[in-house]
Amino acid sequence: MKRVIICDDHDLVTHLLQTWLSLEKSLEVIGTYNRGLEVVQAAETLKPDILIQDLQLPDISGVEVIQRIRTNDTTMRIYAITGRSDLARAALEAGASGCMLKDESPDELLRALRSDLQVSVWLSPMLAAHFFKANKAFSDYRLTNTEITILTHLNKTNAEIAELLMLSEGRVRNVASSVYQKLGVETREEAMLLARNMLLINYEG
């Protein structure tokens, strides 16, 4: 039997997940939490087989939870649940074993848990479709690697980006302008909004 812990800041969601997972004979829910720091500690002490992790929490982000757990445990299966596709990409990059959107059926999550994938990363059907569209959009916009890198850092100032990437501010400004032109937008805010919604770039953290 696989031991499961759940972390979501909404008690109703936590209760529904616990009830749903308890119907599966191969799973045992051994703890529920609504704060990131609590679940990081629980993961270390209880050493569950599976963590179901919400990505938007009141103390630390679910992405940070995953990063912290992964520093000490590379085998735990961590499945992220979120309402935002851009956070899903960040969760997978942090080490999540899989991810689904909150408006999908819990049946999808149960299928993933039953399969017990040990190598590949699991994506729910709806999220996989979002990722496919995002990858196609990247291709359609024909962004260079430098343009993509700067696009992902637009939440920083030009000076901060220049220091981070070891470029001149003028170079950053010129590349950013090229990005705006290719995306068909005029401002930094418009570029970030499009990048978040269509390209699934996460600007938090």
Please give the domain boundaries of the chain with CATH numbers for all domains: 2-131 (3.40.50.2300), 142-198 (1.10.10.10)
pLDDT at position 118? 54
Rounded to an integer, the average pLDDT of 142-160 is 92
SS3 content of the chain, % helix, strand, coil (to 5): 55, 15, 30
Rounded to an integer, the average pLDDT of 12-25 is 87
**Which of the four pLDDT bands, split at 50, 70 and 90, describes residue 154?**
very high
**Which of the four pLDDT bands, split at 50, 70 and 90, describes residue 108?**
confident
Q: Give one word for 44, left, alpha or beta, with left for phi > 0 and alpha for psi -120 to 50.
A: alpha
CB-count exposure of residue 120 (10 Å: 0-12, 13-18, 19+): exposed
Query: Is 119 a residue whose pLDDT tops 70?
Result: no
Q: Structure pTM?
A: 0.76
Q: Do 101 and 124 form a contact (C-beta atoms < 8 A)?
A: yes
First to last CA, the chain: 35
